[in-house]
Amino acid sequence: MSLTDREPQALDVLDDAGRKVLFTEARTANTFAEVAVSDDELALIWDLARWSPSAANGQPLRVLFVRTDEGKERLVRHLDEGNRAKSLQAPAVAVLAYDVDFHEQMPTVFPARGDMLRAAFADQTEKRESLAAYNSALQTGVFLLAVRAAGLAAGPMAGFDRAGVDEEFFAGTSWRSHLVVNIGHPGADPWFPRLPRVPAEDAVAYA
Ligand SMILES: Cc1cc2nc3c(=O)[nH]c(=O)nc-3n(C[C@H](O)[C@H](O)[C@H](O)COP(=O)(O)O)c2cc1C
């Protein structure tokens, strides 16, 4: 039997309800209800998000879930002023970071070539950082979908002092913050007006 004789594998298609939850009706929340987010919900978010693809399966994304009053106080002083109230109100706030030493885990996450990849990256500090930033951004998109898939609203925010957050939470580690994501159930008047999306004719080409 040749390859071409094989039946193609039929992949599932996300139904309308799923498309609404993840894409077409999903919104960025700006206020949050006083409803707790459970340990199980946060665990589910990572359990889904970790399936994101990444270059050489390197998976540089890291997450700090901030939930206590003390943790929130430490975080919000590094946020832009206009972003503080949202994070104080959200029951959980994820500080997304990338690990600039992600290459250390290559033997585990890419067993076939991990030792070689770890050695190749060992003295490539700049390249590691740019790869970590790029791939963690990709993983972050999947993380936001995972929040939605867990029945929660996400509020991503880049308006914060990254160096300040790193000093506050990640001093002496290889984690570098890149995004703060408020997580919870939407509160009063949670959405800004929906902004237009780029239509296919302006964004998509075919060759
Ligand atoms: C990388 C990134 C940075 C953002 N930074 C902020 C921010 O600092 N403050 C804020 O209020 N919203 C921020 N947003 C939210 C966006 O403005 C919002 O997701 C976008 O307007 C789409 O809104 P919608 O999902 O409701 O359609 C950010 C979103 C992303 C993905």
Q: Per residue of the chain (207 residues), what is the pLDDT tens digit?
A: 565 677 888 999 999 999 999 999 999 999 999 999 999 999 999 999 999 999 999 999 999 999 999 999 999 999 999 999 999 999 999 999 999 999 999 999 999 999 999 999 999 999 999 999 999 999 999 999 999 999 999 999 999 999 999 999 999 999 999 999 999 999 999 999 999 999 999 999 999
Neighbours of 19 (CB within 10 A): 13
Domains and CATH numbers, the chain: 35-189 (3.40.109.10)
Tokens of 46: 């990572």
**Beta strands across the sheet bearing 153-157:** 61-66, 92-99, 175-184, 153-157
Pocket of ligand 1 (CB under 6 A): 27-28, 83, 156-159, 179, 191, 194-195
pLDDT for position 135: 98
Which residue in 90, 48, 66 sits closest to 165, CA to CA?
66
Q: Where are the beta strands (DSSP E) in the chain?
A: 61-66, 92-99, 153-157, 175-184
Atom number in ligand 1 closest to CA 30: 11
pLDDT, position 58? 98
The token pair at 40 is 């199980």
Q: What is the pLDDT of residue 6?
A: 79
pLDDT of residue 7: 85
Residues 6+ apart with CB under 8 A from 110: 56, 57, 58, 117
Task: Measure 156 CA to ligand 1 centroid, in angstroms.
Answer: 6
CA dist., res. 164 & res. 166, Å (int): 5
Contact between 60 and 131 (Cβ < 8 Å): yes
pLDDT of residue 4: 63
| Ligand 1 atom closest to residue 159's alpha carbon, by position in its atom list | 8
Ligand 1 atom 29 nearest Cα: 156
Residue from 21, 22, 27, 28 to probe ligand 1 pocket by mutation (most atoms less than 8 Å from CB): 28
Query: Which atom, in ligand 1's list, is nearest to the CA of 86?
Result: 11
